[in-house]
Amino acid sequence: MITNLFLSVAEISLSVSLIVLLMLLLSPLFTKRYGSKWSYWIWIFLALRLLIPFRGADGITLLHALQHTSTQNSMEDRKNHQAPLPEKKTSVGMILELPAQMTAPIQTQSKKGGIQITPLDLIAIVWMLGSLAFLSIHLISYFHYKSQVRKRGTILKNSAILRQLSSQKRELHIKSTVQVVEFTQAPSPMLTGFLNPILILPKASYSEEELSFIFRHELVHLKRKDVFVKLLLAAANGIHWFNPLIWLMQKEAVLDMELSCDERVIEGADYHQRKAYTEVLLSLLCRGCTQKTRFSTEFYGGKQSMKKRFKNILNKRKKKNGAAIFLCVLVLTVTLGATIGCSTAKESGKSIPEQTEETDTYAQKQDTEENQETENQPTQDNQSVSDMPQNGQIYGYVREYSKDTLTIDRQIWATPKSPDWKPEYDEDAGFEVVDAPGEALTYTIHPECTYSSLENHQGPPKDLIREEFEACLREMEYPILWLIDLEDGQIKSIQEQYRP
């Protein structure tokens, strides 16, 4: 479960990273020609995409269905003794295939029902712990800071200050209640609080003009719900903490948040008013407000950020509407999400699932090609494949199933070195699953027969009870290849091999 979730997150992180990199490279051009609010909305959209737990492969299920239908039709052709046609490889996107070693178990606790730990599982666990630690630290820091503000801060009741705040709220059509608190340790004027917003002012003397700009700036943040956006960005950063581009994305998004807020504050203002606004920002810079607090909208953002804000505020050039750019990024993000994916060797259908000696779920994968050939084929030799094997392992598709018997269309797992190999088979794949000569085989199911399937038809394996196996057969939309263990002509275990 965690491993599949991590693969989904990795796919999303990879596809979004390409958009983030493009945005970072084009950021100077965007800031110069388009309003910062469009870049800000793009960052919000990307943050939302980073938190949507759907893999790109889920968006192309129809193509997979068509591919499976083609495979099934090919099998029917072979049954009619027609020459097998080479399969067409359907390209559905760019797949980043993980090495098969990533899913090779490194620990098994018991023969049946044991826990298998793979390197990919360990990576997924580290990712999960890192995400929980990231989010926990920032949430704890936020609640601690807010509690300090409530304990040590002083609620301002100065009528002149409150009248000025009310005037700004009316202009911006804000009806929610906002407390103004003076807090000595505040790094700069800021707005914090998700449900009960608090406007925090450092302890200092402010002119009427300074308060006007400060209140308007923070109230614009309140009107746009920027505190919630900061929570969204932090959540995306926490989930994708392993990706340095997402860290850069959050930093750039916060800067565009402030730039777009500045643009809203000075909307319709002349050059002298803009200059006065920059002087207020400069006065805060000179006071040495350099600390940062999560989940708050700080008036001060660091020297480099302030330089960009000064330049943007004093820019007289009229900026273009960036709606078309936003739409292009949206389409590109969705397209990349549907074409970029991560998979393991098992998902590609070109490698044989691995197992340890303690489990019988898969055919073993050996280090050498000779051992691999031996394990990929049934334990009975294929010199008389038309005979009905009584012991060992065979492959097959389920044709009929009853409570006590199972009828299968037997298959041969052929490799380039086996006598069943034909020139028309796919040598690049390293194996070919073909129909065995003869009629379908019917076996009696042993009372203690065990069943297992692959989670989502690609791994890891999970044990089934008889009723679950029967439900799997009823709900099966595409043919599934099963590995069947025989003992004295009876079926002792039925294990899903893969879905073509």
pLDDT higher than threshold 90 for residue 228: yes
Q: What's the confidence (pLDDT) of residue 460?
A: 81
Question: Who contacts 162 (Cβ-Cβ below 8 Å, separation ≥6)?
Answer: 156, 180
**pLDDT of 448-475, one tens digit each?**
899 898 877 777 888 888 888 888 888 7
Beta-bridged to residue 486, according to DSSP, are 392, 491
Question: Is the Cβ–Cβ distance between 199 and 298 less than 8 Å?
Answer: no
Instruction: State mean pLDDT over 252-276.
Output: 88
| HSE-CB of 134 using CA atoms within 13 angstroms | 18
| Token pair recorded at residue 34 | 């388009």
| Token pair recorded at residue 57 | 């492969």
Q: What's the confidence (pLDDT) of residue 108?
A: 47
Q: What's the confidence (pLDDT) of residue 421?
A: 81
DSSP state of 242: T
The amino acid sitting at 322 is G
Among the ranges given (71-85, 217-231, 268-282, 422-436), the one the predictor scored with the smallest mean pLDDT:
71-85
Cα separations in angstroms, 490 against 328, 394, 441, 449, 452: 61, 12, 12, 9, 17
Q: To the nearest whole percent, how much of the chain has pLDDT over 90? A: 19
Cα–Cα distance, 223 to 229 (Å, whole number):
12
pLDDT higher than threshold 90 for residue 345: no
Instruction: State mean pLDDT over 251-260.
Output: 91
Among the ranges given (16-20, 91-95, 418-422), the one the predictor scored with the smallest mean pLDDT:
91-95
Task: Using the structure block, give the residue that is written with the tokens 């340790």.
Answer: 185
Among the ranges given (126-130, 321-325, 487-491), the one the predictor scored with the smallest mean pLDDT:
321-325
Helix then strand then coil, % of the chain, to nearest 5: 50, 20, 35
Question: Torsion angle of alpha carbons 372, 375, 381, 383, nearest 10°?
Answer: -40
In this prediction the pTM is 0.60
**pLDDT of 15-60, one tens digit each?**
899 999 999 998 888 878 888 888 899 999 999 999 986 655 454 4
| Token pair recorded at residue 484 | 């069947």
Tell me if the bond preceding 460 is cis, omega within 30° of 0. Answer: yes
Q: What's the confidence (pLDDT) of residue 426?
A: 77
| Token pair recorded at residue 349 | 């259908």
CB atoms within 10 A of CB 312: 21
Question: Is the Cβ–Cβ distance between 185 and 152 less than 8 Å?
Answer: yes
CB atoms within 10 A of CB 196: 11
